[in-house]
Chain A
């Protein structure tokens, strides 16, 4: 059952089609990886899901009213707040929870991303990987049903990347968080995801279960896989 459904979505920027008649569905509880060359509209796709961008034509149907968390590539933490305050911010600003309840939720989220020790540090005082985990804690603190990850591991070393992937999987398996992961790390995607979508020039070239994707006969998929393998060596 699809929880988010793109139907013939088209989006142009300054006359250039970034999403071109894009149709695909995101299944409830799955991890969907979106891969593709740079500038093909992966981030734009995610921004349509949360309403930061509106399609020129086509529709995006969202089943029910899921809480959607968003992990930005940069982490997008507010520089003048500590890690703790950043995570508490959405609760303080958008709920009527008491201070004590907020504290409990924030500490729980910090524990989930293994960042309890850095709670009182400012974003500039922690590493890139820690910033991403803090961003992730902020994305899930309001009990997210869906989390969108925009390149959660880019710029991180392989060990930290693996750690983040494990975290994404844990949240998915333990809390049933539907996860959409945009990534350049095709090997990571093959290990992490249930399904993979290849986006090229704003079109879904292929969307398939991981095993089927790896064995796909689609020439564009093969070309992409070979190019990525070349890059890794």
Chain B
């Protein structure tokens, strides 16, 4: 029962984030706020995203490369790394980074506002918390996630190339041309759509958990934790479903 109600609330917030997205451009203040959210989502997470995707590319290259070497097929290392990155690992690791860095901070921020009566104060002033707080944050995540995923893919490919050329004796130029030859537009498109869906979901979950924060000392901690767990689960499940739909 409670679960159904929570889904309903999240659905409403999700619908609002789509229907109300023009409102983030309505005034100078809201545009500035949106720009700030874009910055927080995209730029401030870059260090973490860089390290994560670099290592994911390196791990992929090492695992796959050792297998390929047994069959003297190292020339395909670039292709193997690129395929897993562009289709799955880049959107996936982008989703995990955004959920743990950005989603958690949104849930904590809005949860703290709830506990401090700031959400109620907004309502009394006639300001919709969904329009004022949720929409710019969810939109920023949806816009930034594909860009971050693309960045993950680039950095991951470079990471794989470094391992390839230093550990496996694969020429870097050959690695890159192998990687580029396999990358299809469809893969890129599906990967970016996946990231967009993840970003949207992370935002909706974070805002819903934040707004649903229970009063009391542990409330904010609980909703932050829940926002990360729920986002992780949804990223995995939705990732599988989108793959299933697009690659039959």
Contacts and interface: CB of A to CB of B under 8 A. Distances in A.
Nearest to B118: A76
A76 B29 contact: no
A76 B120 contact: yes
Main secondary structure of the interface of A (DSSP, over half): mixed
Given A92-B29, A93-B132, A76 B121 contact: yes
B126 A90 contact: yes
Main secondary structure of the interface of B (DSSP, over half): helix
Contacts of A142: 125
Interface string B137-175: 000000000000000000000000000000000000000
A84 interface: no
A76 B120 CA distance: 9
Give the interface size class of chain B. Answer: 10 to 19
A78 B118 contact: yes
Give the interface size class of chain A. Answer: 20 to 34
A104 B27 CA distance: 20
Given A76-B116, A76-B118, A78-B118, A94 B127 contact: yes
Contact of B125 (A47, A73, A89): A89
21 contacts: A50-B124, A52-B123, A68-B124, A70-B121, A70-B124, A72-B117, A72-B120, A74-B116, A76-B117, A76-B120, A76-B121, A78-B113, A89-B125, A90-B127, A92-B27, A93-B125, A93-B126, A93-B127, A135-B121, A138-B125, A142-B125
Interface of A: 47, 50, 52, 68-70, 72-74, 76-78, 89-90, 92-94, 135, 138, 142
